[in-house]
């Protein structure tokens, strides 16, 4: 196992990990990961411009009964940022390297947004390494949108050198959070903005991740998946429309779709307990029907 990562952010909920490591991707890129709790392993993969620390709300729910492993995608957190543009295959290979470094033959895998795209590619390339797949607020093709990235996202990145990552989150927040959260739970948004300020991903990571997202399209291959799949989507998601979740679930044989009312794109902020309950119940059912080998 590699030397431990240094871990720069200590969130309100995130405790000290039981184990840390640095996996080596196929191209040599160091990929940092952290492990919490014990039991059946669950690997969590975050989305655009977020490190593994962005799982700080869901993490304690998973780690309460299982071994939760979060990783920093290349270019985020404590993982290195190689030059050039990346593909989803590169990002999926990083997750596979973490599985190997953590000594995991198989694991439940959860991906959110861009992370949901990454883990689709992982499942298609290495289905034998996944016990189940949970896809949150994601799609089978280029984010569920056509054309350029949403202007609010582009503006928030452009303004960040002037205003800082925390303040520019206010520009993009209508895309990410439901109106219910923005009006009724300002303290939850304040926690999100504080995390982005303390754990800011370098701007140079954005074009490399955009390149991977732009080329993402798994529609023609998803029918070949034969593992348990849960698709979670908010019905108030303004970044990746709910129809993308519906399409994704329809393309995967036997996939279970749950649309969460009143929830936007960042599901764990808008509906933390509903998400934790849905995922926990799904993992319980998978484990009950197919005990670990």
pLDDT score of 196: 76
pLDDT score of 288: 96
pLDDT tens track of the chain, all 293 residues? 333 233 333 344 457 899 999 999 989 999 999 999 999 999 999 999 999 999 999 999 999 999 999 999 999 999 999 989 999 999 999 999 999 999 999 999 999 999 999 999 999 999 999 999 999 999 999 844 444 556 566 656 655 665 566 666 677 788 899 999 999 999 999 898 888 778 778 889 999 999 999 999 999 999 999 999 999 999 999 999 999 999 999 999 999 999 999 999 999 999 999 999 999 999 999 999 987 76
pLDDT score of 8: 36
pLDDT score of 165: 65
135 half-sphere exposure, CB direction, 13 A CA radius: 34
Phi and psi angles of residue 73, each rounded to the nearest 5 degrees, phi first = -55, 155
Conformational region of residue 49, where left means phi above 0, alpha means psi within -120 to 50, and beta covers everything else: left
pLDDT score of 5: 32
pLDDT score of 6: 31
pTM over 0.85: yes
Q: Which residue has the tokens 């840390």?
A: 20
List the 19-24 sheet strands across, edge first.
19-24, 30-36, 67-71, 41-45, 107-112, 130-136, 229-234, 256-260
The CA angle 61-273-167, to the nearest 5 degrees, is 95
33 three-class SS: strand
Q: How many CB atoms lie within 10 A of CB 271?
A: 23
Residues 6+ apart with CB under 8 A from 92: 118, 119, 121, 122, 125
Contact 120, 91 (CB under 8 A): no
19-289: what fold? Rossmann fold (3.40.50)
pLDDT score of 161: 60
Q: Which residue has the tokens 């197919």?
A: 290
Cα–Cα distances in angstroms (integers) from residue 89 to residues 124, 148, 218, 239, in the given order: 10, 22, 12, 23
pLDDT score of 142: 84
pLDDT score of 193: 84
Domain extents in the chain: 19-289
pLDDT score of 11: 43
Pull the structure tokens for residue 14: 């995130």
The CA angle 192-198-200, to the nearest 5 degrees, is 85
């Amino acid at each position: 196992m590699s030397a431990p990562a240094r871990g720069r952010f200590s969130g309100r909920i995130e405790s000290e990990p039981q184990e840390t490591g640095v996996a080596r991707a196929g191209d040599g890129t160091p990929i940092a990961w952290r492990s919490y709790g014990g039991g059946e392993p669950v690997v969590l993969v975050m989305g655009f411009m977020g490190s593994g620390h962005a799982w700080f709300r869901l993490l304690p729910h998973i780690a309460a009964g299982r071994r939760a492993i979060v990783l920093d995608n290349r270019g985020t957190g404590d993982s290195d940022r190689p030059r050039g543009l990346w593909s989803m295959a590169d990002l999926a290979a990083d997750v596979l390297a973490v599985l190997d470094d953590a000594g995991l033959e198989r694991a439940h895998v959860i991906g959110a947004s861009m992370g949901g795209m990454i883990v689709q590619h992982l499942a298609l390339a290495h289905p034998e390494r996944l016990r189940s797949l949970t896809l949150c607020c994601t799609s089978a093709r280029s984010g569920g949108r056509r054309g350029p990235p949403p202007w609010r996202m582009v503006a928030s990145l452009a303004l960040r050198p002037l205003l800082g990552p925390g303040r520019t989150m206010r520009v993009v927040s209508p895309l990410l959070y439901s109106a219910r959260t923005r009006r009724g739970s300002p303290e939850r948004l304040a926690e999100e903005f504080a995390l982005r300020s303390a754990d800011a991903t370098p701007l140079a990571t954005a074009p490399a991740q955009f390149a991977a997202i732009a080329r993402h399209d798994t529609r023609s291959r998803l029918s070949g998946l034969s593992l348990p799949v849960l698709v979670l989507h908010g019905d108030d998601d303004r970044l990746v429309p709910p129809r993308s979740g519906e399409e994704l679930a329809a393309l995967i044989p036997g996939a279970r779709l749950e649309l969460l009312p009143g929830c936007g794109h960042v599901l764990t902020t808008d509906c933390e307990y509903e998400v934790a309950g849905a995922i926990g119940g799904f993992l319980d059912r998978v484990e009950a029907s197919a005990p670990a080998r």
